[in-house]
């Protein structure tokens, strides 16, 4: 009897397919997208703290700023046709979108095969971090700029409040910026200034350097300024758990801080720097003025921002961010991937920021004189 040969069929698992059908790499882009967005959302805090608008079919967006008006007594028999002084005065602020902001990496197929970890996932997170870092830095520099500006209302006989700058401490040492008593005092001064300028208490926040934040929570933890229900990891997280004078406090490495971003190792008078930090002494602020390629707003040069700014307190209306392209993902495929035996992974964002209502911005500084307007 002749023996009949049989064919053994193996069921192949393709984790990149959707429902085991179609393109074998269909889900890989979505995985990269998810990791990139997660990295972006987890590392940006400014997006939820200032005004954000989406721009379509244009290069800039107009924000209207309305000044105060007054009440007056009605004279019997007179028509009511609006206040005699033409109040309220109105001004505009236009924010332009900067050029396309990108972060990308080329992933070689063989490297993925040989690596013992998920290479694409790790790279995608770092791309999200890079976009979030730039987003926050531009937003916070816009807030700092607003704190140094006068009101946009210039109508005759109308006086509107501008920004506020508050000195932390009374010496010329940078160490004043880390003194918890100085910081608490500055917070109450800032709250009073915002109250006096008619800025609503809703949405008031502060963003500090991490060392300032941790110094502050050590001091206020036993004084009743911290919600007793917010302890442990929630307290250490720096995500607005602490409130002083109704101002929620966040920490960030992306605020202008003593001439650098978040860290001032090696150059902080009166402060003992950590040892064994290698060559890391903080990242110096770049020139982000409108004269730079790709920048269509003015975030100031490093010299203009200065070396004495040490924290921001503001309300949501202090600055605005215009987004023409929100965080997006693009990955090469097809013939391009075949030719180069790998893929380019790209995260992109098109946005622009500027101050809106200077009265809603407070800049903390150390030293004898406040940083100049720019």
Cβ-contact 173, 211 below 8 angstroms: no
Indicate whether 373 belongs to any domain. Answer: no
Specify the CATH number for the domain of residue 213. 3.90.1690
Instruction: Give the per-residue pLDDT at 373.
Output: 97
Indicate whether 229 belongs to any domain. Answer: yes
Indicate whether 129 belongs to any domain. Answer: yes
Query: For the CA atoms of the chain, what is the radius of gyration?
Result: 26
Instruction: Give the per-residue pLDDT at 82.
Output: 80
Residue 362, Cβ neighbours under 10 Å: how many?
Answer: 31
What's the CA gap between 301 and 256, in Å, rounded?
Answer: 12
Instruction: Give the per-residue pLDDT at 228.
Output: 47
The two tokens of residue 236 are 């250490």
**Tally of domains within the chain:** 1
Strands (E), 245-318: 247-251, 256-257, 260-261, 283-284, 309-314
Report phi then psi at 372, rounded to 5.
-80, 155
What's the CA gap between 221 and 83, in Å, rounded?
Answer: 51
What's the CA gap between 209 and 365, in Å, rounded?
Answer: 12
Question: How far, in whole angstroms, is CA 4 from its chain's centroid?
Answer: 71
- DSSP assignment of 197-265 equals TT--STT-EEEE-HHHHHHHHHHHTTTT-S-TT--THHHHT-EEEEEETTEEEEE-TTSEETTEES--T
Structural domain boundaries, residue 192: 26-64+89-365
Indicate whether 371 belongs to any domain. Answer: no
> 0.85 exceeded by the pTM?
no
Indicate whether 79 belongs to any domain. Answer: no
Sign of CA dihedral 151, 290, 139, 278: negative
Phi-psi label, residue 281: left if phi above 0, alpha if psi -120 to 50, beta otherwise: alpha
Report phi then psi at 176, rounded to 5.
-55, -30
Per-residue pLDDT of the chain (374 residues; tens, 9 = 90+): 555 555 545 455 555 566 767 765 555 555 556 677 777 777 889 999 999 999 888 899 998 888 777 788 888 988 888 877 777 888 888 999 999 999 998 888 887 777 656 777 888 888 999 999 999 999 999 999 999 999 988 888 888 899 999 999 999 989 999 999 999 999 999 999 999 999 999 999 999 998 898 888 877 655 545 554 555 555 555 565 678 899 999 999 999 999 999 777 655 555 666 777 666 667 889 999 999 999 999 999 999 999 999 999 999 999 999 999 999 888 888 888 888 888 888 899 999 999 999 999 999 999 999 999 99
- DSSP assignment of 72-84 equals -PPPTT----S-T
Indicate whether 242 belongs to any domain. Answer: yes
- CB crowding 263-275: b at 16 or more within 10 Å, else e: bbeeebeebeeee
Indicate whether 12 belongs to any domain. Answer: no
Report phi then psi at 224, rounded to 5.
90, 5
Indicate whether 3 belongs to any domain. Answer: no
Q: Are strands 101-108 and 342-355 parallel, antiparallel or unpaired?
A: antiparallel
211-265, pLDDT tens digit by residue?
A: 898 888 877 655 545 554 555 555 555 565 678 899 999 999 999 999 999 777 6
139-172, pLDDT tens digit by residue?
A: 999 999 999 999 988 888 888 899 999 999 999 9
Nearest-10 Cα torsion for 199, 51, 168, 270: 170
């Amino acid at each position: 009897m002749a023996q009949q040969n049989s064919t053994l069929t193996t069921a192949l698992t393709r984790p990149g397919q959707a429902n085991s059908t179609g393109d074998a790499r269909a889900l890989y882009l979505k995985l990269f997208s998810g990791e990139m967005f997660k990295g972006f959302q987890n590392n940006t805090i400014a997006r939820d703290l200032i005004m954000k608008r989406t721009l379509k079919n244009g290069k800039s967006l107009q924000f209207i700023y309305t000044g105060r008006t007054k009440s007056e007594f009605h004279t019997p028999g007179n028509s009511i046709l609006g206040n005699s002084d033409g109040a309220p005065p109105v001004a505009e602020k236009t924010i332009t979108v900067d050029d396309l902001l990108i972060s990308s990496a080329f992933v070689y197929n063989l490297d993925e095969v040989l690596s013992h970890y998920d290479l694409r996932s790790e790279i995608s997170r770092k791309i999200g971090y890079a976009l979030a870092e730039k987003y926050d830095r531009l937003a916070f520099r816009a807030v700092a700029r607003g704190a140094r500006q006068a009101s946009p209302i210039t109508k005759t006989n109308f006086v509107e409040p501008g920004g506020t700058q508050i000195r932390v401490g009374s010496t010329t040492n940078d160490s004043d910026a880390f003194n918890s008593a100085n910081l608490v005092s500055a917070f109450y001064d800032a709250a009073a200034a915002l109250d006096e300028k008619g800025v609503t208490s809703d949405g008031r926040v502060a963003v500090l350097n991490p060392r300032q934040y941790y110094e502050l929570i050590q001091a206020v933890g036993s004084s009743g300024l911290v919600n007793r229900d917010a302890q442990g990891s929630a307290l250490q997280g720096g995500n607005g758990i602490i409130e002083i004078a109704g101002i929620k406090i966040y920490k960030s490495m992306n605020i202008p801080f003593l001439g650098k971003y978040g860290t001032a190792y090696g150059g902080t008078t009166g402060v003992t720097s950590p040892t064994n930090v290698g060559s890391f002494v903080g990242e110096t602020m770049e020139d982000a003025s409108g004269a730079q390629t790709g920048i269509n707003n003015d975030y100031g040069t490093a010299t203009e921002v200065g070396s004495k700014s040490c924290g921001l307190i503001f309300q949501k209306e202090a600055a605005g961010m215009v987004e023409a392209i929100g965080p997006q993902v693009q990955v090469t495929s097809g013939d391009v991937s075949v030719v180069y035996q790998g893929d380019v992974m790209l995260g992109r964002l098109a946005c622009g920021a500027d101050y809106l209502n200077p009265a809603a911005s407070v800049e903390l500084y150390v030293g004898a004189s406040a940083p100049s307007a720019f």
